[in-house]
Amino acid sequence: MKLDQKVSIVTGGGQGIGRAVCLALAQEGSDVLVADIVGETAYGVSGEIQQMGRKSIPFELDVTRKNQVEEMTEKALQAFNKIDILVNVAGIFVKSRIEDVSEEDWDRVIAVNLKGTFLCSQSVGKVMIKQGAGSIVNLASVAAHTPQIYSGAYSPSKAGVFLLTKIMAVEWAKYNIRVNAVSPGPIRTPMTDSIYNTEALRNGRARAIPLNRFGIPEEVARTIVFLASDDASYITGHAIAIDGGSLSSMFYLVGLLSAQ
């Protein structure tokens, strides 16, 4: 197993991509602290991991609260004595055009997606610096790399995560800490289902993807496991797009529209 005797923390681990990441890490041998703002979901996923024969503890976490983040880190150390892997999945999306984004929504999206990633990485990163090793994987988005309508707060927050990933990778390389990101495209999760909430919308969005389908959380999770493992021991400061070809699809879309 790729992650035997490793200890991982996953934020946003209660559902969707986060849940898939927790289970994939456990399948590869890691013990996992499952953190989520909804405590019940964290307990549920933690129970699934325990049934797999791995150690796991749940933690109810608001990633925007520094005191809660520090408590999470301390709880992981008390339970497992070390932290090898941090996966920052926790995030929210508010659908809105730039002119309609409220100050409250802007602050909330930036706080959860960017500040939360920063606080968790800073807290766990200090532990990894003392250990002299660690791997952090952040959840960015294709929206971090190219303009996306109706995401006036979301895209900037994920662009911030992308650049924060690079900054941490450069600053912490001397401590043998690798920091990478994944940039998912449309993935079937509760969040995307709330955005593309009809079959017609989902089918229309899928036609704009070269692979002609949405991804699934397990496809993101497998990439995260790779980046967290020693298989990626010489990779740091990068973001892998898991998007069915979406970021490479400008001329594909031109051809698709021309054919209609």
Q: Would you name the residues annotated as active-site residues?
A: 154
- Closest to 33 in 3D by CA, of 90, 68, 83: 83
Q: How far apart are CA 27 and CA 43, in angstroms?
A: 18
Are 243 and 142 in contact by the 8 Å Cβ rule? The answer is yes
Displacement of CA 124 from its chain's centroid (Å): 15
Beta carbons within 8 Å of 259's beta carbon, 6+ residues apart: none
Are 240 and 202 in contact by the 8 Å Cβ rule? The answer is no
DSSP labels, 52-85? TT--EEEEE--TT-HHHHHHHHHHHHHHHS---E
Angle, alpha carbons 25-171-62 (nearest 5°): 50
Structure-block tokens of residue 209: 């993807």
